[in-house]
């Protein structure tokens, strides 16, 4: 969704609920770990710019309604019964299952452990982090340093037939003869 469209939709909903008259404003932020935020002390609703740009209008609208429900319910309501009532008034049929399919910003780091599970993270931890499944210490890698295997090129002879080799030295000899290589 376009961030400007998200801003217009949020302001429209704030107006509709009478919150702009009470001083509520909308902001875009650079959050990576959350989709949206409602700050009662600043009277501000903010959405993650990355989340807005990655997702379609329906996902973003769910999050906008979620945050406006927080603004309407008050700071002590959290995700309790009062918040649920406000969320349902705004059209969220099942407020608990929000954003299960939302796309989020990928982390800058990947942490791996001995069980093979990769954990995407936005920061490299200064303390030792453990895998939530096997409890082994995680090894951090910057995403750009992770080497992904490239597929082997398909070798074809002059007749266009694919040639396969079991022995790497024969493959190199084939390449030296000037045969074609198709990637």
Residues 25 and 85 in one domain: yes
Residues 32 and 91 in one domain: yes
Report if residue 17 sits inside a domain.
yes
CATH number, domain containing residue 69:
3.30.2010.10
Do 54 and 103 form a contact (C-beta atoms < 8 A)?
yes
What pLDDT does 114 receive? 81
Residues 17 and 88 in one domain: yes
**Residue ranges in the chain whose pLDDT is less than 70:** 95-100, 144-158, 163, 165-183
How far is 31 from 25, CA to CA, in rounded Å? 17
- For the CA atoms of 8, 12, 13, 16, the dihedral, rounded to the nearest 10 degrees, stands at 180
User: Both tokens of residue 53?
Assistant: 């740009």
In order of 43, 94, 150, 170, the CA distances from 100 in angstroms are 27, 12, 33, 52
What pLDDT does 181 receive? 47
Report if residue 26 sits inside a domain.
yes
What pLDDT does 75 receive? 94
Do 122 and 112 form a contact (C-beta atoms < 8 A)?
no
What pLDDT does 90 receive? 94
Residues 20 and 66 in one domain: yes
Report if residue 18 sits inside a domain.
yes
Q: Are strands 139-142 and 162-163 parallel, antiparallel or unpaired?
A: unpaired
What pLDDT does 132 receive? 80
In order of 56, 73, 91, the CA distances from 78 in angstroms are 26, 8, 18
Residues 9 and 55 in one domain: yes
What pLDDT does 146 receive? 47
What pTM was computed for the model? 0.67
Report if residue 130 sits inside a domain.
yes
Q: Which domain holds residue 15?
A: 3-97
What pLDDT does 183 receive? 39
What pLDDT does 101 receive? 76
Residues 16 and 90 in one domain: yes
What pLDDT does 158 receive? 66
Report if residue 103 sits inside a domain.
no
């Amino acid at each position: 969704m376009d961030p400007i469209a998200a801003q217009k939709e949020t302001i429209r909903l704030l107006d509709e609920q009478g919150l702009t008259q009470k001083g509520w404003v909308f902001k875009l932020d650079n959050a990576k770990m959350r989709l949206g935020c409602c700050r009662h002390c600043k009277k501000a609703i903010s959405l993650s710019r990355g989340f807005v740009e990655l997702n379609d209008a329906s996902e973003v609208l769910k999050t906008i309604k979620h945050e406006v429900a927080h603004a309407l319910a008050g700071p002590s309501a959290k995700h309790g019964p009062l918040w649920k009532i406000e969320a349902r008034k705004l059209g969220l049929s099942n407020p608990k299952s929000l954003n299960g399919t939302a796309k989020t910003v990928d982390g800058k780091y990947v942490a791996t452990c001995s069980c093979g599970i990769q954990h995407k993270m936005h920061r490299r931890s200064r303390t030792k982090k453990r895998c939530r499944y096997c409890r082994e210490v995680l090894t951090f890698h910057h995403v750009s340093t992770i080497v992904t295997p490239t597929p082997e090129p398909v070798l074809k002879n002059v007749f266009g037939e694919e040639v396969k080799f079991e022995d790497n030295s024969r493959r190199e000899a084939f390449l030296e003869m000037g045969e074609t290589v198709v990637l």
